[in-house]
Amino acid sequence: MSVVSKKETSELQKLLVEFLKREDPTTMPKPRDLQTLRSFLRSNVKRDMAADLDYLERDLVDRLELIRRIRKICLAKDKDTYEEDREALSRATLWSLLLVLDIARLRKIASDLEEGDDAREDTIFRLAGALTGVHDMVWYFTKGPITEWEKEEMINRNASLARAVLERDGMHCVLTGHKNPEVCHIWPFWAVNRKGQADKSLKALASVFGRERINNLRKKLANRESNTVDTPGNMITLNRPLHRFWEEGYFALEPIGPVFKTAHTSTTSSTVEEDTATETSTPTDGAKNDPPKSLRKRASDRLREKIEERDAKRATMQIEGVKIRFHWLRRTAHESMHTIIGPNAELNPRKMWKDWKDKIVVHDVDGRPLENGHILEIFPTSQAEAPDMDILQLQWDILRMHALTGGADPVLYAPDDDYDEDGRMVSVDRPEKVRALEALKDNRAELVAERPVDTARDGGCASDEHSLQNRLSSVAAIVQGGGVEQTMLPFRPRPGTKVLGEITNVATTRVATRMSEDNAVGGENQDPAQAEANH
What percentage of the chain has pLDDT greater than the value 70? 71
Mean pLDDT of the chain: 78
> Has residue 433 got a pLDDT over 60?
yes
Lowest mean pLDDT among 52-56, 64-68, 384-388, 438-442: 438-442
> How far is residue 203's CA from residue 496's CA, in Å, rounded to a whole number?
26
DSSP tag of 534: P
**3-state class (DSSP) for residue 331:** strand
340 backbone dihedrals φ, ψ, rounded to 5°: -85, 130
pLDDT of residue 463: 39
**3-state class (DSSP) for residue 175:** coil
Compute the average pLDDT of residues 102-118. Answer: 94
Q: In terms of Cα–Cα distance, which of 300, 270, 249 is closest to 140?
A: 249
- Global pTM reads 0.74
Which pLDDT band, with edges at 50, 70 and 90, does 62 fall under? very high
pLDDT of residue 222: 93
pLDDT of residue 101: 97
> Has residue 529 got a pLDDT over 80?
no
pLDDT of residue 393: 98
> How far is residue 45's CA from residue 236's CA, in Å, rounded to a whole number?
19
What are the tens digits of pLDDT across the range 127-153? 999 999 999 999 999 976 655 544 555
Compute the average pLDDT of residues 310-325. Answer: 80
What are the tens digits of pLDDT across the range 164-197? 999 999 999 999 999 999 999 999 998 888 888 8
What percentage of the chain has pLDDT greater than the value 90? 53
Alpha helices, DSSP H, located in 361-507: 389-404, 431-442, 464-468, 483-488
Which pLDDT band, with edges at 50, 70 and 90, does 355 fall under? confident
Cα 399 versus chain centre, distance: 5
pLDDT of residue 145: 64
Lowest mean pLDDT among 358-362, 434-438, 460-464, 490-494: 490-494
Lowest mean pLDDT among 138-147, 206-215, 356-365, 504-513: 504-513
pLDDT of residue 103: 96
What are the tens digits of pLDDT across the range 16-36? 999 999 999 999 999 999 999
Domain boundaries, the chain: 6-42, 59-260+316-419
> Has residue 466 got a pLDDT over 50?
no
